[in-house]
Amino acid sequence: MSETVLQTAIEAATACADIARRTVLPHFRTSLRADAKSDDSPVTIADRQAEQAMRSILEERLPEHAILGEENGISGASSDWLWVLDPIDGTRAFLTGRPTFGTLIALFHKGRPVLGLIDQPVTGERWLGVTGRATTFLSDRLPGTIGTRPCPEAAEAELSCTAPEIMTAEHAPRFAHLQKHTRRTSWGGDCYAYGLLALGQIDVIAECTMKPWDWGALVPVVEGAGGRITDWQGNPLTLESDGTVLACGDATLLPELVRHLS
């Protein structure tokens, strides 16, 4: 990616995060009603408005790029460049007043994520990752320093997952096996947990049934902080991946984690 293209993409992603934050915040901890999507996951007017606002920015600034959003599907001409948007990752947390949801913005090039942004509107935290660069972290008031922490053995690892309910019948036994070989498990967090991994607060995250808008932005953020993020077989994540996601702060731990999940 040329420096000019990169800077344009960073500015567009930042503008999208800013407008999403301004759109989402007024709805937080209000009596907002949620509708159920086809997979029974909740969606709100805040999700829809934030995604549309981000789409408008991208369509104006980068009309040659395609856009894939969780709420409105894909639009734009076929292109090597694809923006992938999740206006509120963690809608259940958003609806219950917990500031662990986030806005996810990713730019894919030829099927691989090359830019990722995680924004937490309530706490004012923002992570920006770009392939080949160190992740940056901005925060209005909460402390944090980018950089994963050493954890060479699974037995010492803090494991995290959004919820046990996301595990399918196929994946639940494999996740349980991983749990037995890690120190403890914490639940909840959605995309926020990956930001905490990038800050050295969590060691391992294992999840499944993830869509590109769930994980696209996470890849550059985690890798730019010194971690690894793959599927459960240890393969790089692409648009054709199987929905499993495995992230670890210490890259040397990955082979052991893959063995436990096999």
Annotated binding site for Mg(2+): 70, 86, 88-89, 214
* CA separation for the pair 262, 260 (Å, rounded): 6
Please report the DSSP string for 144-159 in residue order. Answer: ---------SGGG-EE
The residue among 123, 103, 125, 138 whose CA lies nearest residue 217 is 103
Phi and psi of 79, rounded to 5°?
A: -155, 155
Phi and psi of 101, rounded to 5°?
A: -85, 180
Are 91 and 42 within 8 A, CB to CB? yes
The neighbour count for residue 69, using CB atoms within 10 Å, is 22
Structure tokens at 203: 């060691």
Residue whose pair of structure tokens reads 């944090």 in the numeric block: 144
DSSP 182: S
Planar angle of CA 159, 161, 167, nearest 5 degrees? 125
Known binding residues are 70, 86, 88-89, 214
The residue among 192, 237, 190, 220 whose CA lies nearest residue 92 is 190
